[in-house]
Amino acid sequence: MRIEQLEYFLQVANYGSLSLTAKKINVGQPTLSAAIAGLEKEVGRPLFRRTRRGMDLTAFGREILPLVEKTVDDYYDIRKKAGIATPVNLHVYLQSTFFTSGILSESLFHTRSMFPDVSFTLLHGLISNVIHDITENKASIGLSAALDFNLSRHREYATSLNLRLMPQYNDNLCLFVKSGGYFQSLTNIRLNYLPDKVPLSIPRDLVDSGFIKSQSRWTELPRHLVFDDAASLYQYVYHSDGIGITSVLAARFNPLFSSGMLKAVGLADAPINLVHYLTYPIGQSLSDVEADIIQQTETFYEHLSASL
C-alpha cells in the first residue's frame, strides 16, 4: 500500500469521478484507475461503486475514509517534522517494446524538463504486453513497432478495446554484428545466405509476429536464439561474436552501436518494413504530462523523417 494510492482514494471520493479527478490533479485516468484497483485488491474489498454518474463510495469505503484521511495527514506531519520536502505524487507509467525503448527515452527529455517533479516508470515488454497493460490501467501510453503486414490486425484489435493506434514512422529491419569481430567485413547479406553454424539472434516480438514463417526465402527454419529484451540480445551477440537482427532506428539510438561496439549490417533482401506506433486510450482524460509525452514523441518522429 503506497501513500499515493491513499491520496488518490481521497481525491476520487471528493470529486466522485475518475475523469474529473484526473483533470483536477493532473494525473492520467489510467494511472488513477490502476491505483484505485490496486488498493481495492490489497484491502480485499471494493471501495467504490462504478455508476453512470461516476464513483460512489461503498459502505466499506465510507467506513475507512476518516482512517485514510488521518493516515495521510499523519504521513505529512511526520515528513514536516523530519524536514523532508513534500513530494509531488504524480507518477506516469509508459510501455515500450524491443524496437522502441530507446526512442521513448529520447522523447521524454523535453517532458521531464517541463515537469521536473513527475516520476516516470518505463516498462518494457512484448507487443502483446502493451495493449494488455493499457487496458488493465498498468500503463498510460505505449510505443510499439510491428511488421507492416501485421499493422491492420493490431489496429483492429486496439480499436475493439477502445484504444487509439497512431502510426508514427516506417523503420526497416537490419542485421548487426560485433565491431572488429569475425563478421566485421560484412556489409550486406541475404537472409538465406546466413553463415552456417551461426544461429541468428532474434527478438521474440518478431517470432511471435510470424516473421520467420513469412520469409519464403528460407527453405528451412534457420537456427536461432530468441530474446525478450534488447539488452540481452545485444550483449549476447557482442560476447558470442554472432549475428543478430534489430532495426535501423533501434540501432541508431542504442549506445552499443553509437560507441562502436556493435555494427549494423544492411539486408540485401527487399526492405522488411517495421511501423512504429503510439497506443493510448480513447475517451479517457490524459494529464498534461501524458499529452506532452504524446506530442513530443510525434514531434520526435516528424523531425526524424524530415532529416532523412
Whether pLDDT at 183 is above 60 = yes
The stretch 228-251 carries a mean pLDDT of 91
- Which CATH number covers residue 13? 1.10.10.10
Same domain, 110 and 46: no
What pLDDT, on a 0 to 100 scale, did the predictor assign at position 228?
Answer: 87
Same domain, 9 and 66: yes
Is residue 167 within 8 Å of 151, Cβ to Cβ?
A: yes
Task: For residue range 37-81, list pLDDT tens digits in order.
Answer: 989 999 999 999 988 888 999 999 999 999 999 998 888 788 778
Which of 59, 81, 103 finishes a domain?
81
Residue pointed to by grid coordinates 499515493: 4
Whether pLDDT at 285 is above 90 = no
Same domain, 27 and 144: no
Q: How far apart are CA 69 and CA 64, in angstroms?
A: 9
- Which CATH number covers residue 286? 3.40.190.290
Whether pLDDT at 87 is above 60 = no
Same domain, 7 and 63: yes
The answer as to whether 203 is a domain residue is: yes
What pLDDT, on a 0 to 100 scale, did the predictor assign at position 75?
Answer: 84
The answer as to whether 86 is a domain residue is: no
Contacts of 214 (CB under 8 A, 6+ apart): 147, 149
Residues paired with residue 275 on neighbouring β-strands, in sequence order: 146, 170
Same domain, 128 and 205: yes
Residues paired with residue 172 on neighbouring β-strands, in sequence order: 273
Same domain, 108 and 74: no
Write out the residue range of the structural domain in which residue 98 sits.
91-308
pTM of the model: 0.69
What is the chain's mean pLDDT, rounded?
84
Counting the structural domains of the chain, the total is 2
What pLDDT, on a 0 to 100 scale, did the predictor assign at position 270?
Answer: 67
Same domain, 128 and 244: yes
Same domain, 215 and 163: yes
Same domain, 166 and 146: yes
Length of the chain: 308
What pLDDT, on a 0 to 100 scale, did the predictor assign at position 189?
Answer: 79
Please give the share of the chain, as a percent, with pLDDT higher than 90: 32
Rg (CA), the chain: 23
- For residue 218, what are the CA distances in angstroms to 100, 189, 198, 282? 27, 14, 15, 41
Question: 227-234 contacts: CB < 8 A, separation 24 or more?
Answer: 227/201, 227/202, 227/203, 228/98, 228/125, 228/126, 228/203, 228/204, 229/98, 229/124, 230/98, 230/99, 230/101, 230/203, 230/254, 233/98, 233/201, 233/202, 233/203, 234/176, 234/262
Q: How far apart are CA 229 and CA 218, in angstroms?
A: 25
